[in-house]
Structure 1
Amino acid sequence: MTLSVSEIVGHPQFVPALRAYAAKLRGQFDQSPRLSRMLASHQRWLLSQAAFALQLEYDPSQPGSGLTTTNLREIITSNNAASRNTVLNFLDQLLSYKFVRIVGDPNRRPKRYEATELPTQAMYQWLMTNFELLDHLDGGDRAATLAAQPELFKLIQPQVARRACLNPSWLEPPPRVALFLWTEAGGLVMDELVRRAMELSPDGEGYNIGRIDARVMAEHFMISRTHLQRLFRRAVETGCLHWPDGDRNHCILRRDFLDEYCKWQAIKFSIIDFAHEKICGPVRLGKHDPRLGVAREA
């Protein structure tokens, strides 16, 4: 059985688990800041998930399969997640930073790309971190199963990406969440706010996340200080953040805003759990995928 959105968001351990999850993502950012910085918006998240799925789905017997500009554009533009030019620029940036490489004849059209070692390891670790959160909620063994059979990643990740790119509730975050997630590096900022949400304020209306130093945060996440300050101003105007009595040492992350974010994140975790069960449920039943030597759905 998979966890539903309501079961995830209603679990008493979900907020602490999400806080720990955000802290782990912060650690992963510190390991590869350029890669994390490049993918830290919801649009880039969708692009990267779809691109990776296409790469893993490559079938040599099917001409034109795999990660190509055309295939990525078909997935992304069909749900209005990005424009054709955005897709082109995304792949060009990945190539320039050597996060992908061209495979096969570089003069052949369409060009086919594949991820290099760093983003491949990062995507695997991202999935593992998501499994760890789900395991924390229900005592499951998703992370242990993936660690024991890492080849399952090749089957699970495309399931996650395909379902995430088709789910309208995940594609379109609530307006206040979108304020962060649709902006440059907004995902990094949101993770930092959630990571700090340890202590409820005395009135119970929010979490005291301490002092927010825009200069230090902007420098660490390699974003414009002006951009970050503008984001925080809009967050205050829309009721996401609050400084009681103008005390700059005690920023309050509004509880209702964190609730909105949790409900949206629960959609993604439910998608990931469904993908895990679709692939690993048959593993437990002993049905095997001849391509990988692991079980899969019959």
Structure 2
Amino acid sequence: MNGEDMGLTVDELAGCPKLVPGLKLLAGQLQTRFDANPRLARYLASHQRWLMSQVGFALYLKHSTEPGHPGLTTGSLKAKILPEKIASRNTVLTFLDQLLAYRFVQVSGDPAKRPRRFEVTMVCYEAMFGWFMLNLAALDLVDGGERVAILQRRPELFKLAQPRFADAAVDDPTWRHPPRRVAMFLWTEAGGLVMDELICQVNHTVDADWLPVGRLDARTISSHFMMSRTHLQRLFRKAVDADCLRWVDERRTAVFMSRDYLAEYCRWHAVKLALVDEAFEWAIEALATDSVLRQRSAG
């Protein structure tokens, strides 16, 4: 297998009838993880912070796998984030300061030495490993694969796959900049959590242009996700105006989602899942190649 034919393609994933069940599984499990660690999950629930967290984590791992790599520093994070216009310089600095304040990262070595090098704490490492595992589980549901079992047997694959995935995710403009209607949720504070709620509830099996989501109580959702009820209601209004959602009762609790919006959201996620799949397949091959070279060297 070579790098050009590794993993599922975006078109294969987007056209698979099991993609929606895979995303529903992923969304449900992410909600469970939110309940276990609300502060971390909510903090990373916007696409901008998600991108910065993936890049930052990859930089941290590269320090241990690539000799001479500076690791996660303010400078190395800005060098990856600023050219792609993901965030401003001040936003990157604030992001790292907040990670420190929340104890998701800590300073490695002498804090007075410059540049400061950061390392992730165990809670952050476990969360990122779990996120990667959940995406492999979604892929397994789509094609009946055994990626989760492989990673459980060989967890060292994660340290190879995650940096490759993060680099590819940032370099891919389709994933980096979601479609306008998807970005409406994903670029907002806690919007990703709301989208997970919608995906968990939508009935995609109905043969209609508008799919039932069920009853959504803004007060309950905003309280659970620690967000302003006004912000949530404004977000729902934008989604209705953009023909993503539709209320069907006077009290505005019963919600339907347009089929084309679900398809748009699924195709965007297919981009990410294809990148995860390619990175994981590459890591398996890289580890196997390294093992062969070690055996030859020992022989």
Superposed displacement of residue 250, structure 1: 1.9
Q: Structure 1 CA distance, aligned partners of 2:286 and 2:150?
A: 13
Asked if residue 246 in structure 1 is aligned to residue 282 in structure 2, the reply is no
For residue 166 of structure 2, what is the amino acid of its counterpart? A
Asked if residue 97 in structure 1 is aligned to residue 99 in structure 2, the reply is no
In the alignment, what sits opposite 1:272? Answer: 276
The change in CA–CA distance for 1:150 and 1:61 in structure 2 (over 3 A counts) is closer
After superposition, what is the alpha-carbon deviation per residue over 1:84-140, rounded to whole angstroms, capped at 9, x for unaligned? 100000000000011110011100111010110111101000000000111112222
SS at the partner of 1:222?
coil
Which residues in structure 2 correspond to 1:34-49 (within 5 Å)?
34-49=39-54
Alignment equivalent of 1:211, drawn from 215, 228, 231: 215
Whether the 8 Å contact between 1:5 and 1:263 is mirrored in structure 2 is yes
Alignment equivalent of 2:168, drawn from 145, 149, 163: 163
Q: % of aligned pairs identical? A: 50
Structure 1 unmatched ranges of 5 or more: none
Q: Structure 1 CA distance, aligned partners of 2:27 and 2:136?
A: 14
In the alignment, what sits opposite 2:289? Answer: 287
The change in CA–CA distance for 1:289 and 1:123 in structure 2 (over 3 A counts) is farther
Greater mean alpha carbon deviation, residues 15-24 or residues 83-92? 15-24
In the alignment, what sits opposite 2:57? Answer: 52
Normalising by structure 1, what TM-score?
A: 0.92
In the alignment, what sits opposite 2:186? Answer: 181
Give the CA RMSD over aligned residues.
Answer: 1.8
Whether the 8 Å contact between 2:157 and 2:280 is mirrored in structure 1 is no
In the alignment, what sits opposite 1:27? Answer: 32
In the alignment, what sits opposite 1:195? Answer: 200
Superposed displacement of residue 281, structure 1: 2.8
Q: Structure 2 CA distance, aligned partners of 1:166 and 1:287?
A: 26
Whether the 8 Å contact between 2:185 and 2:195 is mirrored in structure 1 is yes
In the alignment, what sits opposite 2:3? Answer: none
Greater mean alpha carbon deviation, residues 90-99 or residues 64-73? 64-73
Superposed displacement of residue 9, structure 1: 0.8
Whether the 8 Å contact between 1:200 and 1:206 is mirrored in structure 2 is no
Q: Structure 2 CA distance, aligned partners of 1:245 and 1:204?
A: 18
Counting matched residue pairs gives 288
Q: Structure 2 CA distance, aligned partners of 1:245 and 1:185?
A: 26
In the alignment, what sits opposite 2:90? Answer: 85
Q: Structure 1 CA distance, aligned partners of 2:204 and 2:78?
A: 44
SS at the partner of 2:82?
helix
Q: Structure 1 CA distance, aligned partners of 2:286 and 2:63?
A: 22
Alignment equivalent of 2:238, drawn from 234, 238, 245: 234
Q: Structure 1 CA distance, aligned partners of 2:92 and 2:224?
A: 27
SS at the partner of 1:165?
helix
Superposed displacement of residue 21, structure 1: 1.2
For residue 20 of structure 1, what is the amino acid of its counterpart? L
Asked if residue 127 in structure 1 is aligned to residue 132 in structure 2, the reply is yes
For residue 197 of structure 1, what is the amino acid of its counterpart? V
Whether the 8 Å contact between 1:206 and 1:252 is mirrored in structure 2 is yes
Q: Structure 2 CA distance, aligned partners of 1:200 and 1:245?
A: 22
Whether the 8 Å contact between 2:78 and 2:89 is mirrored in structure 1 is yes
In the alignment, what sits opposite 1:106? Answer: 111
Normalising by structure 2, what TM-score?
A: 0.92
